[in-house]
A and B are shown apart, each in its own frame.
Chain A
Amino acid sequence: MVTITSVAPRRFFGMEGFKLDRQMFEVMTKETLNSMTKRMQVYAPHIANKARPGQFIIFRVNEKGERIPLTVADTDKDTGAVTIIFQEVGKSTKELGELEIGETVLDFVGPLGKPSELDRIGRAAVVGGGLGCAIAFPQAKYLFNSGTQVDIIAGFRTKDLVILEDDMKAVSQNFYMCTDDGTYGTKGLVTDVLRGLIESGEKYDKVLVVGPLPMMKFVSLLTKEFGISTIVSMNTIMIDGTGMCGGCRLTVGGETKFACVDGPEFDGHLVDFDEAIRRSGMYKDIEGEKNAQHVCRLEKM
């Protein structure tokens, strides 16, 4: 369970300040959330101290691994823990999932990206699609704790894949669950639920949506219709995460932006989703060869 702690900020004296007998990047806890999603706490006190909602880390499991971005789902400044929640979609996330408590991740760098701008929002709808619920959760929690009225709409393919339900309930005034196949909550897509709420007169100052690219695209189209300002979190392919390669670039309002340093959050009404969808599939064939049985789960979600 994620504990919602509010620790008074204290000054930080570098890694030497932590006298715990832990190595950097040690796996502290590990839980299975559903058949393909795990939650881990990794020891990285300098990141735990700094990370804000919306930021991410990049990890590399071993010497030959890829650099893979994951959102910081939570932090604990007291224990130096950074929580990550990840879906085992490919080789790297699978290898991460195989690490046991006490083992270490080779590289773990962050916090990266711009923190979300979440202040002075009266009422917000947070929309999460599948694993996107994990990425949106820190924002929802921050909003809720800073006095915003939060409605959460969580969508999953099917009941077995539901994650973080209690956590999300704990940080929202209203919580709406839906599944594609109707095995849990209402049957339908998050866009259906959101449209229903808006049409029945619910007023939102901001909609925050995280999930697969097509879902973010359709939620953005919907909110544009109603003129509701919308933030999306763009999970592009990345390498360095520091603005050095441009591999994460996307078009926002006609301009080229780097998701890792200008984002990952952008105005959903300005993002060129079709281009982003094409770019995210760039290595599909190659990754597919490498890991045939694990491809495409994310898409099916």
Chain B
Amino acid sequence: MPNMSKTKVPMPVQEPDVRNRNFSEVALGYTEDMAVEEAERCINCKHKPCVAGCPVNVAIPEFIALVHERKFEEAYYKILETNALPAVCGRVCPQESQCEQVCVRGKLGEPVGIGHLERFVADWYMKNVHKLIKPAAPNGHKAAVVGSGPAGLICAADLAKLGYDVTVFEAFHATGGVLVYGIPEFRLPKNIVNHEIDNLRELGVKLKTNMIIGRAFTIDELFEQGYEAVFIGTGAGLPSFMNIPGENFNAVYSANEYLTRVNLMRSYDETYDTPIMKSRAVAVIGGGNVAMDAARCAKRLGAETVYIVYRRSEVEMPARIEEVHHAKEEGIIFKTLTNPVRITGNERGYVNGMECVEMELGEPDASGRRRPVEKKGSEFMMDVDTVIVAIGTSPNPLIRTTTPGLETNKYGGLVVEDTTNMTSRKGVFAGGDAVTGAATVILAMGAGKKAAKAMDEYIRGVIPADS
């Protein structure tokens, strides 16, 4: 008899007013018993809508059935068949718009906690199973991966498993891409990412940090060095600003800068040298995951008041529901239907306020969301000393400007062939945010996987080089 509870087994979390002062993980994870209890909520539907809802088609009912039988190790291998980073995805996938959105149990109550279970299985495996990974027998071919975000990591792993001699080139001093410099520790502990990267090393992948492709070497030079195919997974790191007056005052940050200082450079830890503003009142502009992360970091760094300023209403917010919920619990104040028009500063050049205007929703726009329009005469001042701009990012132009013949779209994304992820340059493949613009971890991984398969076929000559 399945567990017919309408609600998920609740995820244990740190208390809001404790956690908003530390950087440890918010969600603490299921115990074995909780996981088994939640697994019992899955009714093992014949048509498995959840599987189609997952961008990489994780065998959801099958792995959940194994959890139910307490075969946690087997459950892990089942997930691993299609998803190489379950500990990451279980934590950061927007499940409510993917696997869990279409779960049959969601029609009458909450869907099965697929993300929670996936995370449990991965964490259980990490804690309990220590198997040495054997590198595959070398096949004598070399491939290069540019960028060590989820797209690049998965591409490298899949190629290494096929016996390729794979080198990953990463611009930063650390590997992991947004997983290490963007998503904060309290949502995705860095030891989880590092564990995955250690696995990659065991597979024989060479990781070279401090290597900016386009500067140290061009893509063409990588081919000269004997790499037979190149994957570009350089993400979408170029921050957009609003182009409003006052944006260059001190203590106006892009979310990228703020999060990098906090996460990668650990400015919250006294023993690190990274400076960051000591803020009293912070306005974060934007409504996505990035904005939530920046706001929650600001709170943890000691700001008394933190606002999310978003020009549409809460329904339109692209952030994961769980993160919006967590942010509110932690005391973040939501100012929706509000748009900044000007940032003001003092005589020393530091922010001392922000002027905003109220918005209302008009007709739907191209994205299908109702377009916000200004309410005349509704301008008001916000008392803030720090502004963090989280209104989006686009692909960095470095690679496309140093690689002749790479086609891009009007947003700067690399144009790739649908089935192979090959760019307009032979042997050059791409995927993840570098192609799609800012998207999700699971989509980036899916693209890295698809490209690895095509790169293998390309090098073996299955895809003709002159196609």
Contacts and interface: CB of A to CB of B under 8 A. Distances in A.
A13 B265 contact: no
B143 interface: no
A107 interface: yes
Given A12-B221, A107-B173, A247-B257, A283 B275 contact: yes
Given A109-B173, A279-B349, A66 B248 contact: no
A107 B210 contact: yes
Given A243-B237, A290-B273, A278 B225 contact: no
B253 A247 contact: yes
A243 B238 contact: yes
B275 A245 contact: no
Given A110-B215, A111-B216, A239-B261, A246 B273 contact: no
A239 B209 CA distance: 15
Contacts of B380: none
Contacts of B253: 246-247
B248 A275 contact: yes
A81 interface: no
Select the residue from B172, B173, B256 with max chain A CB neighbours within 10 A. Answer: B173
Nearest to A47: B216
For chain A, the bracket of interface size reads: 35 or more
A250 B241 CA distance: 13
A32 B216 CA distance: 29
B241 A256 contact: yes
A230 to B, nearest CB: 22
Contact of B212 (A112, A249, A290): A112
B417 interface: no
A123 interface: no
Contacts of B398: 242-243, 261
A28 to B, nearest CB: 18
Contacts of B256: 244-246
A153 to B, nearest CB: 30
Contact of A242 (B237, B275, B276, B278): B237
Interface in A66-109: 66-67, 91-92, 106-109
Contacts of B348: 278
A287 B216 contact: no
Interface residues of B, number: 44
A275 B349 contact: yes
Contact of B241 (A244, A246, A286): A246
A46 interface: yes
A46 B173 contact: no
B215 A112 contact: yes
Contact of A240 (B211, B221, B260): B260
A108 B254 contact: no
Q: Which 9 A-B pairs have the closest CB atoms?
A: A278-B349, A245-B257, A109-B210, A283-B275, A244-B237, A246-B254, A107-B173, A286-B275, A282-B250
Interface string B269-306: 00111111110000000000000000000000000000
A66 B210 contact: no
A200 to B, nearest CB: 39
Interface in A247-298: 247, 249-251, 256, 261, 275, 278-279, 281-283, 286-287, 290
Contacts of A66: 265, 273-275
A65 interface: yes
Contacts of A60: 173
Given A50-B215, A111-B215, A242-B396, A249 B248 contact: yes
Contacts of A261: 398
B210 A240 contact: no
A148 to B, nearest CB: 26
A65 B275 CA distance: 11
Nearest to B266: A64
B343 interface: no
A246 B257 contact: yes
Given A14-B217, A64-B273, A275-B349, 14 more contacts: A11-B224, A13-B224, A64-B271, A107-B209, A109-B210, A109-B211, A110-B216, A240-B172, A245-B239, A247-B253, A256-B241, A275-B248, A282-B251, A287-B275
Contacts of B261: 239
B273 A239 contact: no
Interface string B389-419: 0000000111000000000000000000000
A46 B216 contact: yes
A110 B274 CA distance: 21
Interface in B222-241: 224-225, 237-239, 241
27 contacts: A11-B224, A12-B221, A14-B217, A46-B216, A47-B216, A64-B266, A66-B273, A66-B274, A67-B173, A107-B173, A110-B215, A111-B215, A112-B215, A239-B257, A242-B171, A243-B237, A243-B398, A245-B256, A245-B257, A247-B254, A256-B241, A261-B398, A275-B349, A278-B250, A278-B348, A282-B277, A283-B275
A292 to B, nearest CB: 14
A287 to B, nearest CB: 6
A165 to B, nearest CB: 32
Interface in B241-260: 241, 243, 247-251, 253-254, 256-257, 260
Contacts of B274: 66
A245 to B, nearest CB: 4
Give the one of A67, A240, A251 with max B CB within 10 A: A240
Contacts of A91: 273
A12 B216 CA distance: 11
